[in-house]
Structure 1
Amino acid sequence: MPARSTVTARQARLGAELRKLRERAGPSIREASEITGVAQSKISMMEAGRVGVSAERVRHLASQYACDDPALVEALVAMATERGPGWWEEYREAVPTGYLNVAELEHHAAELQTFQGAHIPALLQTEEQMRGVFASSVPLLSEEQREVRVRFRLRRQEVLNKIGYAALIHEAALRIRAADSKVARNQLLHLIEQSEQPQVAIRIVPFEADGFAGISAPVVYANGPVSQLDTALVDTAHGGAYLGAEAQLHRYRVVLRTIEKMALGAVDSRDFIHRLVHQM
């Protein structure tokens, strides 16, 4: 099987999990090759996500690495045997690769939670809000590029029809205008409407919340089928960082729990947004 020319974030994560199984068991790649009967180069390519892995091979490696967590093994088997491109692949030549990886992450998540300090979460934006956001992109985008990204983001929002979504949004994000006052008002009304959906929870962190300093990086936390396969996606100046190490996941679970304690409840958050609408 030829090596992949492009490795998605999910394929890279599967490889990383296979590497974790080996490293927890102790053997080097050379020793693992002797134990499993798989060529060293093949093990390296699998752990880098550069080649596919069959269900049989995942189970074989897990057995040889003495993994005693059947739920984790079966979750890895499911990752390895996913077939067919996702809808986002239709956009591979049209939007940045990072957009595709986010859509893939959302599609496979069991639940999603996010904190946004300066922007309305992408999955909760109105179409006009999106246009305002993309109009200020650096470098500037053509009208055609902006419209493609709007269509892509709208398609991403379909995930809200199938999983639970919890959004922690700072008051600053509600007040920053991506476009004009009409767009801003409609965006707030849309948040109210979305907050009434049973699968969507929106909670606001007001300016007067105590002890909020230092908690600012936007984060998306995606629950996997087992906790070991959770992912924290953290925005950085150079793109999104996909974190899957247990210490990293624990850190962002704590961060989100801390923000939750500062946030208003669901009903109070809805009332808060209503008041902002009336002030406009």
Structure 2
Amino acid sequence: MDFTLKTYTKLVDALINAGYEFITFEQYCNGIRPHKFIIMRHDVDELAKNAVKLATIENSRSIKTTYFFRIVPQSNVKEVINKIVSLNHEIGYHYEDLSIHNGNYQKAIESFKENLTYFRTYYPVKTVCMHGSSYSEYDNRLLWQKYRLQDFGLIGEPYITVDFDKVYYLTDTGYAWDGSNKYATRDIVKSSHNISFHRTNEIIYAINTGKFPLQCMILIHTVWSDNPLHMFLNIREFIRNRVKYISRHNKFIAFLYNTAVKAYWRI
């Protein structure tokens, strides 16, 4: 089985054995960029308690990674955030304020400031990352066409700050490493890298044979699990991604999809 904690452990160990240094996104933004580095980024969209399992694996290997938390209850779990911080990882705000407030910039930026202040009660947050909000017509990054990250004491946003021609971008969107072009709505980057993978064992093979890029940001959502019940998430994601794809071309399906997603996230 792919996308399990056992598989994640093998991936991390392969990177360590190949000489990659793990840096947080905050460290990258502060100019810490070794010759071979990995920015391991976790978007905590849901199943927040799984984040602790990933963070524990990482901490046992003395590596630091970055966890972006949403404000929704499926992500914003106090004891989880505290535990992640205690395990010496970076946390940031996984913002979606513009989509929540239906494109109202004034309400969105007020909400952003309030939520950022909240997450700073756990950790001195310096970086943020937009949530794709596939149900919404509004791209949350558009906030930064009107406002500046620096005005909020922030130093980085992955989709604004990182040069993805230099840093290879790899995401597990849709339970497949090549799923971003098929299923992602906004977390897509322009890159000159001409390399792709489908399964995690392909990535591990590339690492072990010296064919993996020297600098990489890897996005791993916190749905990786060894729990057989969580394997049903594969089925849910299979269905959801296909509905999401169809909704791009069918307004009625889009309406049903958007309504269901908002109800699930309680936004």
Scaled by the length of structure 1, the TM-score of the pair is 0.29
The structure whose residues are more often helix, as a share, is 1
Relative contact order: is structure 1 or structure 2 higher (C-alpha 8 Å, sep ≥ 6)?
A: 2
Q: Which has the larger radius of gyration?
A: 1
